[in-house]
């Protein structure tokens, strides 16, 4: 990243490293739709084995992965159970309804994480007047829930409850490796309680694009058909699959650095008058904080920061989200915190944030 710009909008803004670019250049490729791309095949087996599942399908994005899973598990008229902050129900353009004819029943968890008591009584009766409750959707880490990671014991309770009630479980694991590092479990341990899991390579793992969906063979067979239906047919995709393989081999363990940097930034801005943050709630690489309402709005602070070449998006009328990643250093974050301090001390209420996507707050 340019030394003059500190981009904390998302970990999706990372650029592939020179070594990742070399892996892309060297990739052996073929026709993925014919099952003939050796690098894609290697990646799919690698991730399926890593998560202890039978099969996997590589695709373009996390949203595509999630919508393929919904389609694979559900029929038209079915219903999913999902936390009210979940990405699938808030930030995927109504895909479950538009693509699969599936509705959502919202749960009210804490930090985007729910438990059995939140699920009790939510399965629709077997009656022709009701839709069929089919799928429980979990997000790990939670995005707008605050970047929190599901405890393994809680996932076990939810997964077991769902299966006892004849439901399937899908995990939106866009930042699953962040969650595993934050909580100290393996991704295989967590995946044990899920029927399908999506993982995004273009976030903390630093790839230019790509996601993968894993599950049992039948689910992935149906998901692969959904990928084609949704216009996601891939040909010589091995170049991007090679980037994902490189990321899995080199960029997973370093995620702890991003978590540590998030703590550094959170502690620094906690000392700023007019900024509200609970540092103890910062668990991964996402830092949510608020501007005191008598000092201005999140859009105004975001606009003022942009003038100082710091990019942090609003995440609500008073709330902002900063995301640490492999292209920002501890020194960048300390500098960004000082710029936040300068902006707050000089006043932000007169800043015009209307040029931002101010009310359509960033999703990932």
27-46 average pLDDT score: 97
CA dist list (Å): 256 to 74, 181, 247, 251: 36, 7, 14, 10
Residue 53: give its domain's CATH number. 3.40.640.10
Q: Do 340 and 219 share a structural domain?
A: no
Q: Which residues pair with 6 in a beta bridge?
A: 310
Q: Tell me the pLDDT band of 363, cut-offs 50, 70 and 90.
A: low
DSSP letter string, 256-269: HHHHHHHHHHHHHH
Per DSSP, helices labelled H in 84-129 are: 87-90, 95-100, 116-119
Q: Do 141 and 31 share a structural domain?
A: yes
Q: Compute φ and ψ for 351, nearest 5 degrees.
A: -70, 140
Q: Tell me the pLDDT band of 4, cut-offs 50, 70 and 90.
A: confident
pLDDT at residue 360 above 90? no
Q: Do 222 and 156 share a structural domain?
A: yes
Neighbours of 163 (CB within 10 A): 14
Q: Do 91 and 237 share a structural domain?
A: yes
Q: Do 304 and 342 share a structural domain?
A: yes
pTM: 0.94
Q: What is the pLDDT of residue 17?
A: 97
**Strand, helix or coil at 299?**
helix
Q: Do 216 and 72 share a structural domain?
A: yes
Taking each helix axis as running N to C, give the angle between helix 255-269 and helix 176-183, from 0 to 180 degrees, rounded to the nearest 10: 80
Q: What is the pLDDT of residue 362?
A: 59
**Strand, helix or coil at 144?**
coil
Cα distance between residue 88 and residue 136, in whole Å: 11
Mean residue pLDDT across the chain: 95
Cα distance between residue 292 and residue 312, in whole Å: 17
Per DSSP, helices labelled H in 101-186 are: 116-119, 152-164, 176-183
Domain span at residue 323?
254-346
For 190-231, write each residue's pLDDT tens digit. Answer: 999 999 999 999 999 999 999 999 999 999 999 999 999 999
Cα distance between residue 37 and residue 248, in whole Å: 19
Q: Do 37 and 132 share a structural domain?
A: yes
127 within domain boundaries? yes
273 within domain boundaries? yes
pLDDT at residue 9 above 50? yes
As a whole-number percent, the residues of the chain with pLDDT over 70 amount to 95
Cα distance between residue 139 and residue 233, in whole Å: 26
364 within domain boundaries? no
Cα distance between residue 127 and residue 23, in whole Å: 54
317-334 average pLDDT score: 98
Q: Do 302 and 229 share a structural domain?
A: no
Burial status of residue 194 (CB atoms within 10 A of its CB: 0-12, 13-18, 19 or more): buried
Our count of domains for the chain comes to 2
For 73-87, write each residue's pLDDT tens digit. Answer: 999 999 999 999 999
Q: Do 217 and 332 share a structural domain?
A: no
Residue 321: give its domain's CATH number. 3.90.1150.10
């Amino acid at each position: 990243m340019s030394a003059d710009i500190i981009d904390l909008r998302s970990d999706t803004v990372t650029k592939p490293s020179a070594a990742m670019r070399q892996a892309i250049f060297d990739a052996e490729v073929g026709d993925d739709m014919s099952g003939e791309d050796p690098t894609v095949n290697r990646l799919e087996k690698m991730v399926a084995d890593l998560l202890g599942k039978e099969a996997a399908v590589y695709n373009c994005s996390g949203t595509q992965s999630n919508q393929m899973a919904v389609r694979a598990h559900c029929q038209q008229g079915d219903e999913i159970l999902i936390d009210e902050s979940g990405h699938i129900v808030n930030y995927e353009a109504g895909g479950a309804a538009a693509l699969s004819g599936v509705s959502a029943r919202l749960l009210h968890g804490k930090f985007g994480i729910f438990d059995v008591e939140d699920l009790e009584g939510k399965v629709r009766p077997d009656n022709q007047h009701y839709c069929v409750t089919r799928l429980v959707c979990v997000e790990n880490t939670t995005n707008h829930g605050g970047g929190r990671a599901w405890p393994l014991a809680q996932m076990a309770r939810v997964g077991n409850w769902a299966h006892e009630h004849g439901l399937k479980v899908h995990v939106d694991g866009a930042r699953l490796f962040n969650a595993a590092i934050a909580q100290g479990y393996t991704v295989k341990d967590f995946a044990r309680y899920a029927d399908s899991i999506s993982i995004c390579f273009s976030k903390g793992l630093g790839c230019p694009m790509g996601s993968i969906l894993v599950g049992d063979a039948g689910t992935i067979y149906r998901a692969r058909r959904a990928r084609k239906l949704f216009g996601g047919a891939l040909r010589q995709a091995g170049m991007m699959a090679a980037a994902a393989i490189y990321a899995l081999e080199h960029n997973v363990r370093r995620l702890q650095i991003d978590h540590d940097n998030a703590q550094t930034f959170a502690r620094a801005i906690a000392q700023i008058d007019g900024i509200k943050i609970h540092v103890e709630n910062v668990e991964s690489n996402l830092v949510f904080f608020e501007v005191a309402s008598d000092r201005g709005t999140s859009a105004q602070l975001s606009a003022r920061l942009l003038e100082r070449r710091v990019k942090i998006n609003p995440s609500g009328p008073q709330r902002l989200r900063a995301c640490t990643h492999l292209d920002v250093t501890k020194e960048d974050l300390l500098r960004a915190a000082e710029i936040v301090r300068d902006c707050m001390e000089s006043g932000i209420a007169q800043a015009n944030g209307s040029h931002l996507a101010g009310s359509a707050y960033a999703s990932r």
